[in-house]
């Protein structure tokens, strides 16, 4: 299997410049990603990234991704190849996950977007188009921000599957307005290569374009999109997003296949857009805005100083997660680039610790259920069983259609329907 590799930190290009580069993703030795884009979408800079993590189905993976988000100060992460089942939303310790998938029990594909808790309040809609394409819409003072996360078929898939993917992507784009800020990001499994191509591709790509790259450029030209990664000069070691298993010693086999696209009209404005994210509201909530503003003022006065002064412990979203496992994950991240032997040892140790922690957790829960059963406490017994089975964790998100079968995006139209 191919390996993805990242440089040690995001590359900064200075004030008022969009920043593109690569963030380390130490989720495991075979999973990482890539491209990040800084878009000034509210008063402080909103950092957007897209990673191929090669499955979030593994225990502890989501928690590890959130650790990386906090460490790299990322607000929005688009995830390719999530490998979850179904579509919907899931609350996390630091924010929320929106995902789009299928009912495939083999856990293939699936895309997701993870938002920091400060961004979640601006979400107005989720369209889970397919296991390879999803649309998440946010409201800003500048207008709507459309985040389209994708995961394109790999090179071994046939042309029919590739065209079905682009067809779904095209349908998703049609749901957005030309005045909206639309970002398309993810793993395109295509090599655009080095060299300028009209106003669509900049001169700072990597490698040689392949057929999939031609198809991606064609799609961008048809939809007036630009490949933002290619417009900013960076060392080549910060451009590749995929590393072949054959990449050893002096044999370097690395490609750039993950991209962030944006509408051409915002190609230059990406560094100057200064729209504030807004909390999505309905008409019935507008009368509460004055009280809400007063509360926000009080909340800021109380909470912001406490963040600076109070010491907080590490959060463990999964009930079975321990501080010891989180510390081992931190050590594994530090060892990734400079001590491969220790990294592999820690990888094995973390997996063993996770198994042990889950076994202990479930054993204790089963004991609790047995005790409740012996006490004939059916209410708490059912509650514990549902909790243990994870029946209360995920909220399914379905697409709402109008009478003509078109997808409804606007809140007022949804309420009317």
What pLDDT digit, counting tens, does each position of 211-255 carry? 999 999 999 999 999 998 888 888 888 888 877 777 777 777 788
Tokens linked to 150: 């994708």
Residue 150 has pLDDT above 90, yes or no: yes
The pTM of the whole model exceeds 0.75: no
Query: Higher confidence at residue 3 or residue 262?
Result: 262
Q: Average pLDDT of 376-388?
A: 77
pLDDT at 14: 24
Domains and CATH numbers, the chain: 20-271 (3.60.10.10), 323-396 (no CATH)
Q: For the ranges 56-60, 332-336, 391-395, which has the lowest average pLDDT?
A: 391-395
pLDDT tens string 253-284: 788 889 999 988 887 655 544 455 666 655 55
Phi, psi of 145 (to 5 degrees): -110, 115
pLDDT at 398: 59
H or E element in which residue 391 lies: none
Instruction: Give whichever of 188-197, 326-335, 355-364 has the largest mean pLDDT.
Output: 188-197
Write down the mean pLDDT value for the chain: 76
Residue 406 DSSP label: P
pLDDT at 169: 94
Query: Higher confidence at residue 25 or residue 407?
Result: 407
pLDDT at 152: 93
Residue 114 has pLDDT above 90, yes or no: yes
Q: What is d(CA 138, CA 379) in angstroms, rounded to the nearest whole number?
A: 39
Strands 32-39 and 20-21: antiparallel
Phi, psi of 194 (to 5 degrees): -90, 140
């Amino acid at each position: 299997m191919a390996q993805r590799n990242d440089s040690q930190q995001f590359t900064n290009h200075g004030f008022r410049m969009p920043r593109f580069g690569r963030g380390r993703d130490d989720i495991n030795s075979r999973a990482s990603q890539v491209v990040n884009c800084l878009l000034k979408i509210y008063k402080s800079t909103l950092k957007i990234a897209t990673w191929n993590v090669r499955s979030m189905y593994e225990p502890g993976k989501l928690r590890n991704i959130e650790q990386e988000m906090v460490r790299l100060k990322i607000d929005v992460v688009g995830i390719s190849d999530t490998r979850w089942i179904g579509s919907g939303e899931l609350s996390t310790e630091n924010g929320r996950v929106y995902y789009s998938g299928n009912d495939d029990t083999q856990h293939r594909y699936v895309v997701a977007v993870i938002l920091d808790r400060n961004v979640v309040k601006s979400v107005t809609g989720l369209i889970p188009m397919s296991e390879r394409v999803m649309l998440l819409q946010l409201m800003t003072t500048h207008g709507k921000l459309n985040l389209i996360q994708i995961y394109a078929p790999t090179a071994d898939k046939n042309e029919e599957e590739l065209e079905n993917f682009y067809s779904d992507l095209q349908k998703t784009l049609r749901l957005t307005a030309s005045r909206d800020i639309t970002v398309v990001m993810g793993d395109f499994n295509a090599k655009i290569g080095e060299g300028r191509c009209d106003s669509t591709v900049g001169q700072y790509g990597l490698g040689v374009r392949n057929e999939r790259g031609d198809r991606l450029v064609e799609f961008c030209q048809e939809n007036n999109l630009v490949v933002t990664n290619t417009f900013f000069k960076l060392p080549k070691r910060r451009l590749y997003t995929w590393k072949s298993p054959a990449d050893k010693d002096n044999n370097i086999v690395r490609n750039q296949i993950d991209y962030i696209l944006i509408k051409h009209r915002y190609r230059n404005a990406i560094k100057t857009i200064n729209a504030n994210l807004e909390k999505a509201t309905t008409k019935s909530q507008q009368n509460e805005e004055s009280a809400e503003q007063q509360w926000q003022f009080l909340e800021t006065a109380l909470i912001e100083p406490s963040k600076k002064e109070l010491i907080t412990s590490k959060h463990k979203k999964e009930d079975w997660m321990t501080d010891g496992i989180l510390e081992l994950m931190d050590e594994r991240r530090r060892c990734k680039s400079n001590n491969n032997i220790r990294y592999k040892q820690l990888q094995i140790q973390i997996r063993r610790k996770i198994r042990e922690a889950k076994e202990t957790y479930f054993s204790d829960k089963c004991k609790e259920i047995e005790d409740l059963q012996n006490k004939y406490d059916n209410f708490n017994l059912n509650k514990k069983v549902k909790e243990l089975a994870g029946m209360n964790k995920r909220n399914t998100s379905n697409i709402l259609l109008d009478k003509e079968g078109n997808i409804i995006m606007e809140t007022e139209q949804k309420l009317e329907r």
